[in-house]
Amino acid sequence: MHKCLRQLRLFISFCFLLIWSGVLWGEEARITAENMSYDSKTGAFVAEKNVRIERVELLITAPRGDGNLKSRKITLSGGVHIGGKWEQEPVDLSCNSLDGDLSQDGEYILREKVSGYFGTRSIDADELNMSKIAFSSKKVRKFEDSQQKIFVSAESVKGTIKEGQTTDINASGNVVIIFTGTDGQKTRITGSTATYSKAQDSLRVRGNAVALQLDRALRAEEILYSPGTGKMEASGQPQVTFQLHEKKGNDANERKDS
């Protein structure tokens, strides 16, 4: 009985510290779990079973968590889920583990089997590092922005976010980028590195770059593409190839006439 009361008092004290200090993103927050221990001298804590971090419209859950209130660092493991809203954008992400800095401008690193979406961006990768204004990811099988109508896969992808929009993207290592035009036509460009700027309406791909569009292929050391206009510029031994379609219907009619 005394042990239960002690755990309950400890739990209440722990939650109060988190709510009072407002360490999560500078707003009122709460951490709960079925089992929890906290060292008031060092600030270290360990939480197990149904760990929940709640902040306004955001909820993070995991089987286990530990960290330190003084350093404002936290680690969640065993299968993490992030849902609700973050920076006023809808978010639904899952991963095996998460490392976070609970200060107002902290970063959050999601590791292993990262999948889901944040805002208009969906992702499938081995790692995702998120902050208020930027993101970076590793071993990216898919990064897709439905608003920009861009798909990216690469060894690493970095980007910046402003007012809910992806403004810049940098990708490196086995880069594949696909833009979908307003007419539904897809332009696929591959290379070693790529830099995209929304403000400049430009995508620059370097290193054995290849652009495919319908039945045409453009190869060069560097390709500059404008998603808005559809124009391309190539430098470094550019080469264009295209398919010659056989007009079978006309040939058949000509044979009949003869």
Residue 135: name the closest of 114, 166, 101 by CA: 166
pLDDT digits (tens, 9 = 90+) for 46-82: 999 999 988 778 899 999 999 887 888 899 999 999 9
> What confidence tier does 242 reach under pLDDT thresholds 50, 70, 90?
confident
Closest CA to 35 of 64, 55, 5, 13: 64
Helices H / strands E in the chain, number of each: 2, 16
Q: Are 30 and 14 in contact (CB under 8 A)?
A: no
Show Cβ contacts of residue 97 under 8 Å, excluding neighbours closer than 6 positions.
Answer: 75, 76, 77, 78, 80, 110, 111, 112
The model's pLDDT over 201-229, given as tens digits with 9 standing for 90+, comes to 999 999 999 999 888 899 999 999 999 99
Residue 180's nearest CA partner among 225, 214, 150 is: 150
Q: 235, 211 in Cβ contact below 8 A? A: no
